[in-house]
Structure 1
Amino acid sequence: MVNIKRTHYARQLDDQLVGQQVRVGGWIEDVRDIGKLAFVTIRDVTGACQVIVTGDSVQAAVQAPRQSAVVVAGVVQKSKAKDFPVEVKVSEFTVLTKAVHPLPIDPTGRVESAIDKRLDARALDLRTPKVAAIFRLRSAGLVVVRDTLLGEGFIEVNTPKVIGSASEGGANLFSFDYFGKRKAYLAQSPQLYKEQLTLGLDRVFEIGPYFRAENSHTVRHLTEFISVDIEAAFLDYEDVMDIVERVVRNVATAFQEKHKADLQLAGGKDISVSKIDRLTYEQCLDELAKEGEKLQFGDDLSDAALRKLGEIHRGFYFITDWPLKLKPFYIHEKEDNPKLSKSFDLQYGYLELVSGGRRLHDPAKLRSRLAEQGLNPASFEEHLKAFDWGMPPHSGWGLGYDRLMMVLTGSQNVRDVVLYPRDTDRLTP
């Protein structure tokens, strides 16, 4: 019976293990046959190592197709190879599963494949060192996000993704028949739930998948995406802007200080996040006017306008105090100018990463705002009743985690940082 358990990953093999017996599992990346022995490069999720195969195992190693899954056992010794300070002199070489060639893509990364081809073979694509690095970073980033928010006194929650009403006005929602009884929807955000939760839990956050039936096929849009959402009682919008700034800074710093090798492998750059500039919407209009982009107060900022702003403000920057009419019904107006809202977006260049603000907590104002936006308050009674139970003032935001990963890894397409992306064309694998 084959022992499939490894004792070490490739990255763990070093000078301190010289003379020790180890067992390594992975896949064959390269084989160099020189007759009585063969040099085999074995890669696993952490990196690559070199093993020397002799005797009866040479034939098995040479005949095994590249990318076959293997487990090897042997003694660690110093290596003369420039890429490997140590190697394993193999006493046991077992091919567990043979790879069937031709493979759909080259997982070594030496031959590039189009994104669609790679996604069709995503599981194999993850053997590409650059791709694996991206998803190790993605995992590490989520740990930092959680630790930061837990350290700020937030409680992690899970809200429903199958909902019975068209929240936030019902724009761009996927709908489906719910057991022949009624129509149900896939949630596009946890907005209404997280507001309700501040009633008793004070500060909450959720990291989860959401869905948007938006017919946009671009390098930054997906129909299913991961969002980091927070809501906090007794904080104003500038307070939660400070929190998102700390979250982004902590993730970027962790990548640079603790995951630098993966960041370089992924193609990311060192992005310094110091104090993030805060521009008002009206300041943006003034800057755009100087660049020849004439916009009236109340106009939304187009892609072209945001690209121009991104050229002026390199890196991260906030746009605050948007016209109230451009924001959802739950956003609070500014007390000194009710045409403006207590809201913000966090941008990186033209790319919107975060949207947030102070929320209305007065039920009478909420009902009035719903009517102003052409929405029926009766459709929101399940939500509104919580506001009759002593709802505290609260603020929050939602961060598109996939887009943040695009920025930090230097990826040009959001599909590169999502394992199995869903867009207007893709439902498989």
Structure 2
Amino acid sequence: MLSNMLRTHYTNQISPQEIGEGEQIKVAGWVYEVRDLGGICFVVVRDREGKAQVTLVKKKTDSELFDFSRKLIREAVISVTGTVKPSDKAPNGFEIIPSEINLLNNADSPLPMDTTGKVEAELDTRLDARYIDLRKPKTNAIFRIRHEVLRSVRDFLTCNGFIETTTPKVVATATEGGTSLFPITYFMTEAFLNQSPQLFKQILMSSGMDNVFEIGPIFRAEEHDTRRHLNEATSIDIESSFSDHYDVMQILEDMLSQVYLNVKQNCESQLDVLDLDLEVPKTPFLKLKYEEAINIVNSESDEELEWGEDLGTIAENLVGQDVFERTGQSHYFIIDWPTEIKPFYAMGYEDNAEISKSFDLMHRRMELASGAQRVHEYDILKNRIEAKGLNPDNFDFYLDAFRYGMPPHSGWGVGCERLLMTMTEVDNIRDVVLFPRDRRRLSP
């Protein structure tokens, strides 16, 4: 039970069996609907947990209260004081008989969009008026699931010995080089919005913290305009000392399975709203070598991929469909990527440096995560930076940590939005971000 002055219960906390006869309750929310039938008026109030029907009978209700209720505007904010009465005809099996209805704030009309979901709005309209869009049950359900995903990630990693950290988002140099950075003015010098916590979480391995994780924003100045790319996203990252790439792959697949299980158990009403029957991924995930993935693409496609080429969207879909048809599983790893197409910090195999101890976690729709065992020896790492055409002097703050006892370590980063996108089966990544940032959208 709540103790707020204007509300004692959310709508999903109301039960005629648990609330005594004649006991006063208060609910508060938005006017979802007003149905005036002459001698009887129904006001449906909606809060974040659902809806409740407020019933006013003209012959039994104060005339001033009855007339006031009939004139309420959709999406006006109200609080209702009354008693609960069982009713088979009312939603959720009860109705509220009001003794008082207070208008807390009115709403302009017409609304920017329909909040009932009966009339669909274009994505741009929804994002421009996100505060209204979030009142729709389907939109709201996605972000309740997002909350559970992030809570589950934190709980899982904490219970497995990881320490949560936060690393800088304003940096002096690129994580991986390249031009996909947003430059900013930092007092009298140029700086950038960080594209990954990678370098800092590796530095922390030198500190003896051993296992760290971070959930935070990353920024990529790439001019994508697709359904799966954003310029600001949320990344879930770990780094683990004395671990190889197989160790952190197991952490990743176990975490993902636990997250799905928690969402299935704790977000039942949200999954019902989205009409989703969530299937918990079975572990261990299939580990497909890069070479095998290339062979699948070349056997199924007219366009032949060569060794050292990255997998595009079409190739990913072909491999994902092949794995799904053979195993019935949507999640799998592609491992042993060519070293040349992975970042400088990815370690090559001792007996074949052209192949790296790296992996991508795939969903049959798209890539979700990437990771690797890292180079932990100073001289090799410096040479790798130079081989990528980068200046080691720009990485002094990072390289210094490798000179004084850096243990072997591995890690990965998961795109939170892509995980949610595949979990909730939405078609556009912007649907799982409260206020998305892409090349065309900077407001709200």
What are the within-5 Å matches in structure 2 for residues 366-405 of structure 1? 366-405=381-420
- Paired residue for 2:104, among 50, 72, 96? 96
Q: How many Å separate the matches in 1 of 2:6 and 2:177?
A: 53
Tell me what 1:33 maps to.
36
1:381 corresponds to which letter in structure 2? D
Contact 2:34 2:72 in 1 (8 A): no
SS at match of 2:228: coil
Contact 1:36 1:58 in 2 (8 A): no
Q: How many Å separate the matches in 1 of 2:5 and 2:102?
A: 9
Tell me what 2:312 maps to.
302
Once the two structures are superposed, residues 232-271 of structure 1 have per-residue CA deviations (whole angstroms, 9 ceiling, x without a partner) of 0001001100011011111111122221221121343312
SS at match of 1:11: helix
Tell me what 1:145 maps to.
153
- Paired residue for 2:293, among 284, 293, 312? 284
- Paired residue for 1:186, among 163, 185, 193? 193
2:57 pairs with 1:42: no
Q: How many Å separate the matches in 1 of 2:349 and 2:273?
A: 46
Once the two structures are superposed, residues 296-320 of structure 1 have per-residue CA deviations (whole angstroms, 9 ceiling, x without a partner) of 1111112211111121123111100
Q: How many Å separate the matches in 1 of 2:294 and 2:39?
A: 74
Q: How many Å separate the matches in 2 of 1:320 and 1:267?
A: 34
2:387 corresponds to which letter in structure 1? E
Shift of 1:82: 4.8
- Paired residue for 1:217, among 218, 225, 244? 225
1:348 corresponds to which letter in structure 2? H
Q: How many Å separate the matches in 2 of 1:166 and 1:82?
A: 59
RMSD, aligned α-carbons:
1.3
SS at match of 1:58: helix
1:62 corresponds to which letter in structure 2? R
Once the two structures are superposed, residues 130-173 of structure 1 have per-residue CA deviations (whole angstroms, 9 ceiling, x without a partner) of 11111111001111000000011000000010112222214301
Shift of 1:350: 3.8
Moved more, 193-202 or 261-270: 261-270
SS at match of 1:272: coil
SS at match of 2:81: strand
Q: How many Å separate the matches in 1 of 2:222 and 2:381?
A: 26
What are the within-5 Å matches in structure 2 for residues 54-69 of structure 1? 54-55=61-62, 56-69=64-77
Q: How many Å separate the matches in 2 of 1:168 and 1:263?
A: 38
2:323 corresponds to which letter in structure 1? H
Shift of 1:333: 0.3
Tell me what 1:205 maps to.
213
What are the within-5 Å matches in structure 2 for residues 106-121 of structure 1? 106-121=114-129
- Paired residue for 1:344, among 359, 363, 370? 359
Shift of 1:336: 2.5
Shift of 1:4: 4.8
Shift of 1:18: 4.7
Contact 1:267 1:409 in 2 (8 A): no
Contact 2:333 2:360 in 1 (8 A): yes
Tell me what 1:312 maps to.
322
Contact 2:296 2:318 in 1 (8 A): no
Q: How many Å separate the matches in 2 of 1:405 and 1:57?
A: 45
1:182 corresponds to which letter in structure 2? T
SS at match of 2:309: coil
SS at match of 2:91: coil
- Paired residue for 2:434, among 411, 419, 425? 419
SS at match of 1:17: coil
- Paired residue for 2:344, among 314, 317, 329? 329
Once the two structures are superposed, residues 188-217 of structure 1 have per-residue CA deviations (whole angstroms, 9 ceiling, x without a partner) of 110000001112211000000111001001
TM-score (norm 1): 0.97
Q: How many Å separate the matches in 1 of 2:121 and 2:67?
A: 31
Deviating 4+ runs (over 6 angstroms): none
Contact 2:382 2:392 in 1 (8 A): yes
Q: How many Å separate the matches in 1 of 2:378 and 2:280?
A: 42
Tell me what 2:8 maps to.
7
Shift of 1:5: 2.3
1:334 corresponds to which letter in structure 2? Y
1:154 corresponds to which letter in structure 2? F
Q: How many Å separate the matches in 1 of 2:337 and 2:277?
A: 31
Moved more, 383-392 or 294-303: 294-303
Tell me what 1:172 maps to.
180
Q: How many Å separate the matches in 1 of 2:361 and 2:179?
A: 22
Contact 1:24 1:73 in 2 (8 A): yes
2:6 corresponds to which letter in structure 1? K
Shift of 1:397: 0.3
SS at match of 1:339: strand
Q: How many Å separate the matches in 2 of 1:244 and 1:171?
A: 29
Contact 1:175 1:183 in 2 (8 A): yes
Q: How many Å separate the matches in 1 of 2:144 and 2:134?
A: 10
Q: How many Å separate the matches in 2 of 1:302 and 1:96?
A: 53
TM-score (norm 2): 0.94
Mark the runs of 5 or more structure 1 residues left unpaired by the alignment.
none
Once the two structures are superposed, residues 333-375 of structure 1 have per-residue CA deviations (whole angstroms, 9 ceiling, x without a partner) of 0122211000000111141110101000000000110111111
Contact 1:271 1:408 in 2 (8 A): no
Contact 2:365 2:422 in 1 (8 A): no
- Paired residue for 1:22, among 22, 25, 39? 25
